[in-house]
């Protein structure tokens, strides 16, 4: 079954280009409408009940796009943000597990986004209550982009939907191949498919410090630093984590500046 899609972009050329790319390279998508403004978009979305909305963000705050989503009552669709903004904006997308493609649109990136949307859509159909959490993560995205800073929550996609995590509950993170294990202060842990490098980019560096190629720690949970028989960060729960030799100097300077 095809994914019903609506395209929202104020530039006609951009809408036609995306429509052409979807028709040619993403046969699993059926574009059922397009709109150039919020009013048109709301009407088309409510009429067609799409599976996915490709939504352009024109300003760094993305106010128009987020205003559109806030104005729709029955939000049972997923979103792919189409944006030309990089740096902090991409960090915000990654932190909130929201799909996006960069302008100019790369075909492989578009195909990957469509694939992920298809997988997520199947999950959300089985668990429609996940849409509430999903749009909460979009609100987090809006807030972090507006302030151009680091958010206080991280969203993790899983087989049943999306899990929102308060970053202050994360004690430390550990690389596991191309995945990351998050360890929490209540003793639980969670495996995410994002790499430790991605987490290094989306977590606030004033709170989280990468002490080793395999570990990032939450400085709030650091108890002490030991340099006997090696270099170790000791967490409040007694966990010892190695500090890489090439990071010792900057780590010690960071500790002295606290």
Answer yes or no: do 194 and 236 share one domain.
yes
Is residue 157 assigned to a domain?
Answer: no
pLDDT of residue 87: 67
> Is residue 154 in a domain?
no
Q: Looking at 100, 115, 148, which one is the last position of a domain?
A: 148
CATH number reported for the structural domain that contains residue 110 in this entry:
3.40.50.2300
Whether a cis peptide bond, with omega within 30° of 0, leads into 220 is no
- The pLDDT of residue 139 is 86
Interatomic CA distance for residues 256 and 248, integer angstroms: 12
What pLDDT, on the 0 to 100 scale, is given for residue 63?
62
Beta carbons within 8 Å of 233's beta carbon, 6+ residues apart: 211, 215, 217, 222, 225, 240, 241, 242, 243, 251
Q: Is residue 150 over pLDDT 60?
A: yes
Does 132 share its domain with 180?
no
Find the range with the poorest average confidence among 48-62, 211-225, 236-250: 48-62
pTM recorded for the entire structure: 0.75
Q: Work out the percent of the chain whose per-residue pLDDT is above 90.
A: 61
Is there a single domain that holds both residue 85 and residue 28? Answer: yes
Please check whether residues 143 and 174 belong to one and the same domain.
Answer: no
Beta-carbon-side half-sphere exposure of residue 124 (alpha carbons within 13 Å): 22
Q: Do 136 and 199 share a domain, yes or no?
A: no
User: Which residue segment(s) compose the domain that 180 sits in?
Assistant: 168-256
Residue 216 sits in a domain of what CATH number?
Answer: 2.40.50.1020
Query: Is there a single domain that holds both residue 20 and residue 102?
Result: yes
DSSP H or E run through 233 = strand 232-235
Q: Does some domain include residue 158?
A: no
What mean pLDDT comes out for the span 8-15?
A: 92
For the sheet with 222-226, list strands across it.
222-226, 232-235, 240-242
Whole-number percent of the chain with pLDDT over 70: 95
Residue 196 lies in a domain: yes
Question: For the residues 237-245, what does the mean pLDDT come to?
Answer: 96
pLDDT at position 65: 82
Mean pLDDT of the chain: 90
Q: Choose one of 90, 116, 148: the last residue of a domain.
A: 148
């Amino acid at each position: 079954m095809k994914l019903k899609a609506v395209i929202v972009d104020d530039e006609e050329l951009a809408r036609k280009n995306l429509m052409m790319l979807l028709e040619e390279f993403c046969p699993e998508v059926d574009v059922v409408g397009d709109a150039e403004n919020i009013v048109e978009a709301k009407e088309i979305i409510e009429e067609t009940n799409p599976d996915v909305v490709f939504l352009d963000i024109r300003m760094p705050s993305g106010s128009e796009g987020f205003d559109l989503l806030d104005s729709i009552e029955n939000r049972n669709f997923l979103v792919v943000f189409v944006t030309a903004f990089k740096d902090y904006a991409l960090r915000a997308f990654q932190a909130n597990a929201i799909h996006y493609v960069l302008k100019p649109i790369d075909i492989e990136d578009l195909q990957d986004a469509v694939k992920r949307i298809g997988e997520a859509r199947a999950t959300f159909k089985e668990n429609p209550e996940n849409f509430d959490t999903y749009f909460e993560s979009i609100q987090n995205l809006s807030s972090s982009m507006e302030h151009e800073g680091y958010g206080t929550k991280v969203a993790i996609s899983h087989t049943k939907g999306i899990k929102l995590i308060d970053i202050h509950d994360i004690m430390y993170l550990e690389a596991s191949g191309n995945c990351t294990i998050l360890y929490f202060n209540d003793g639980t842990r969670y495996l995410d498919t994002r790499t430790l490098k991605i987490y290094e980019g989306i977590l606030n560096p004033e709170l989280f410090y990468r002490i080793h190629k395999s570990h990032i720690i939450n400085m709030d949970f650091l108890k002490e630093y030991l340099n006997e028989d090696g270099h170790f960060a000791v967490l409040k729960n007694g966990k010892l984590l190695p500090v890489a030799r090439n990071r010792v100097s900057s780590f010690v300077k960071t500790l002295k500046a606290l």
